Amino acid sequence: MLSVCSDFRLLANLALREALTSGKTARGSLARFASQQAKLLHLNFYHALAATDLAVALARAHRGRLRRHRASTVPYLRRLFLRTSHHCFHFDPQTGKLRLSLRSGEWISFQVHVAPYHRSILAKPGLRVTQLHLTPERAILIYGKPAPEPYAPESLLALDTNEGTLDGVTVAPKEGTHAVRVDFSEIPTIQSCHAKRRRHLARKKATDRRVGKRLLNREGRREHDRVRSRLHPLTKQLVAVAAAHRAALAIEDLSQMPHPRRRGRLARRKPSTRRRLSSWPRGELNRQLAYKAAEWGVPIYWVNPFRTSRTCPRCGGIAVPRSRVGPVFVCPQCAWSLDRQLNAGANIGRIVLRETKELGGLRLDLDALLDEAMTPRYPFECIGRAREERTGREGRPLKDSVQTLLQ
């Protein structure tokens, strides 16, 4: 089997080199090349296809990095592994028996240890194992799950992303309009803690760049992991609450937002503020919300955030410039005033209600917001603060108080 792994790696590297030197980007022409090479290496057609897919993905990522003027070395596969599609293997999760086609007419079968948890996952209806990634140490099964059709929304949860919070409104037919605030304040705490540590490390290892770089990289990875693991329960709860109330989510569409640094908006800020504002993981938050919403069948609407923080939701008046909008938005044309962050969430709600037919029965009641703006609901406030250093899984278990949202 190891010889097959090493032949497969060779095949993938040949396809990769072909993709980079000839400039081929089409999967078809690369697959033709790879299947010719596969014949010479006595591998089958499906190995060639898997190697082509790898080569195409790696070459595309490399080209993308070069286009964006990022540092990139020419990709090359070093690790020994075999990736095959479901045509080439058969796996029985109950017995753990894996039967695998190595070369044309040559099969092996062996036993894989399957934990009860994995067995329960693989037994779910509709789930299909699509790929096998085999290394000398482990077997990784990659499966696909059909996403349910999004339900017809009965209410709306519109949120604006801010540093440390998501603020916005919920609109339901019976309960009316309410202001909500989802607390993510732990994440800035984690980030500032790690920024402090990185600064300290950089100073301490200023004379040893090699060790300094390694330690700083490790610090960065640890921060990344901690932020992710804190975001996951929060996004899961948010989507679960939306699903329980058959609510649609409305979130700002980051792809339509100019990068603040490119706009020069951040240039005037202090360096510490700049770091804080641009390190807030908006992209990761939206990625998690998007895939979890798809998994739960929650409809999600992406709203262009242009001017949402400085527009009046009542009369459409625009405050200029943005930097003069303080913690409270005050309309220059009418008497409307509201917490700036809640105001942006209300605008997102207004836009999505105006533009979406499925939400036609809902009405944004702005007067209800005025009464509540001083005390928005904090659906996630029960989650514990971030610790200074990771010692196992962070935070206390989530309580049921999340259910106050959308009641």
**3-state secondary structure (DSSP) of residue 144:** strand
In angstroms, what is the C-alpha Rg of the chain?
26
Q: Does 329 bind Zn ion (CB under 5 A)?
A: no
Q: How far is the CB of 365 from Zn ion (least distance, A)?
A: 16
Q: Does 9 bind Zn ion (CB under 5 A)?
A: no
C-alpha span between 214 and 41 (Å, rounded): 39
Which range touches Zn ion (CB under 5 A), out of 133-141, 183-191, 323-331, 346-354?
Answer: 323-331
Q: Does 369 bind Zn ion (CB under 5 A)?
A: no
Q: Does 328 bind Zn ion (CB under 5 A)?
A: no
What torsion do the CA atoms of 51, 52, 57, 63 make, to the nearest 10 degrees? Answer: 120
**3-state secondary structure (DSSP) of residue 260:** helix
- Judged by CB under 5 A, which of 92, 333, 388, 399 binds Zn ion? 333
Nearer residue to Zn ion within complex by CB, 33 or 336: 336
Q: How far is the CB of 257 from Zn ion (least distance, A)?
A: 23
- Judged by CB under 5 A, which of 48, 50, 251, 331 binds Zn ion? 331
Q: Which of positions 267-286 make contact with Zn ion (CB under 5 A)?
A: none
Nearer residue to Zn ion within complex by CB, 350 or 377: 350
Q: Does 317 bind Zn ion (CB under 5 A)?
A: yes
- Judged by CB under 5 A, which of 228, 307, 334, 390 binds Zn ion? 334
C-alpha span between 81 and 316 (Å, rounded): 58
Nearer residue to Zn ion within complex by CB, 153 or 345: 345
Which range touches Zn ion (CB under 5 A), out of 77-85, 156-164, 214-222, 334-342?
Answer: 334-342
Which range touches Zn ion (CB under 5 A), out of 74-82, 110-118, 184-192, 304-312?
Answer: 304-312
- Judged by CB under 5 A, which of 81, 89, 336, 380 binds Zn ion? 336
Contacts with Zn ion, residue ranges (CB under 5 A): 312, 314-315, 317, 331, 333-334, 336
